[in-house]
């Protein structure tokens, strides 16, 4: 007796690039493909939790309304907390979406991936407090402080499983669609942008007290761009996660892999959500025939 396969979605890490997951989910819905289980790392955990709680519309509205000024208001700088920001507003925003406070009470099966700071082990969070689990998974090292949960200090899940195909399979998926927001279309991790006049965007989002520390000069004239703190941090994270992702997916390849093609979107430009969502929709449209064949055929 034939039946439709159980579909799992593995949503990868990527900071602001991870808003593409919203577009992917929209594109899949257009094709008539609805995941049965979802596993997410970092931003993939945030979007995945919203979907699992049937609150994706509310999240998308919040993302599209985010401006550079509103982004600044989310920055709760506290250098002694283990990162530049504590990012408490992530939990506050999730609560505002009216998600179920516990993962096991969400409408659909969901797992968030985090990393144990003490042991370096991958941690799967499929029960317990929803908001704390998502915040733990989305803890970009060097930017966001780690989170204590059940006696463990947890870091970003991208450090151990950037695109959690293994978790989606363990949740019972027959077919896994993997979404990688950090794909590099031209094989380059970082390249200097064109010189620009005016105040650099970092100077608009960070307190003046941090400008000298991070090498930001709001008054500097246009000149050849040299890497600043966030350029170095983003490139380092991209190198690390790309290496880990390649190794993990070589041993556990998905049935469908959707790779983003961002060229200049950094992990912290969360106010560029509309661009990222559009890229997610493009990713699905580009492989629509393959997705239908794999996900909608009888097994």
- Active site (catalytic) residues: 42, 156
Q: Are 65 and 41 in contact (CB under 8 A)?
A: no
Q: Give the integer Cα–Cα distance in Å for 294 and 292.
A: 6
Identify any residues that bridge with 80 across adjacent strands, giving them in sequence order: none
Give alpha helix (H) positions in 11-152.
20-31, 43-52, 56-65, 68-73, 88-96, 130-137
Count of all residues that appear for the chain in the document: 299
In this structure, are strands 152-156 and 175-180 parallel, antiparallel, or unpaired? unpaired
Q: Give the integer Cα–Cα distance in Å for 181 and 2.
A: 34
Identify any residues that bridge with 153 across adjacent strands, giving them in sequence order: 148
In this structure, are strands 37-41 and 152-156 parallel, antiparallel, or unpaired? unpaired
């Amino acid at each position: 007796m034939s039946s439709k396969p159980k579909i799992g979605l593995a949503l990868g890490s990527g900071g602001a690039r991870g808003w593409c997951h919203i577009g992917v989910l929209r594109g899949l819905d257009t094709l008539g493909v609805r995941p049965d289980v979802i596993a997410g790392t970092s931003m993939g955990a945030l979007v995945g939790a919203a979907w699992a709680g049937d609150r994706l519309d509310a999240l998308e509205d919040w993302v599209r309304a985010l401006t550079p000024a509103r982004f600044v208001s989310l920055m709760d700088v506290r250098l002694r907390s283990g990162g530049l920001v504590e990012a408490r507003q992530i939990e506050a925003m999730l609560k505002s979406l009216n998600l179920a406070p516990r993962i096991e009470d969400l409408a659909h099966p969901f797992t968030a991936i985090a990393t144990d700071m003490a042991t370096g082990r991958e941690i799967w969070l499929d029960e317990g407090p929803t908001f704390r689990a998502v915040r733990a998974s989305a803890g970009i090292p060097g930017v966001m402080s780690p989170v204590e949960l059940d006696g463990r200090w947890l870091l970003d899940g991208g450090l151990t499983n950037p695109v959690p195909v293994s978790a989606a399979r363990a949740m019972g998926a027959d077919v896994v669609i993997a979404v990688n927001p950090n794909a590099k279309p031209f094989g380059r991790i970082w390249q200097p942008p064109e010189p620009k006049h005016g105040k650099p965007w970092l100077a608009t989002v960070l307190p003046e007290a941090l400008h000298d520390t991070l090498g930001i000069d709001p008054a500097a004239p246009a000149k050849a761009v040299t890497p600043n703190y966030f350029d170095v941090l983003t490139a380092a994270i991209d190198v690390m996660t790309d290496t880990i992702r390649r190794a993990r997916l070589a041993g556990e390849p998905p049935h469908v892999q959707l790779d983003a093609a961002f060229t200049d979107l950094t992990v912290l430009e969360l106010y560029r959500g509309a661009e990222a969502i559009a890229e997610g929709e493009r990713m699905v449209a580009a492989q629509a025939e393959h997705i239908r064949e794999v996900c909608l055929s009888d097994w």
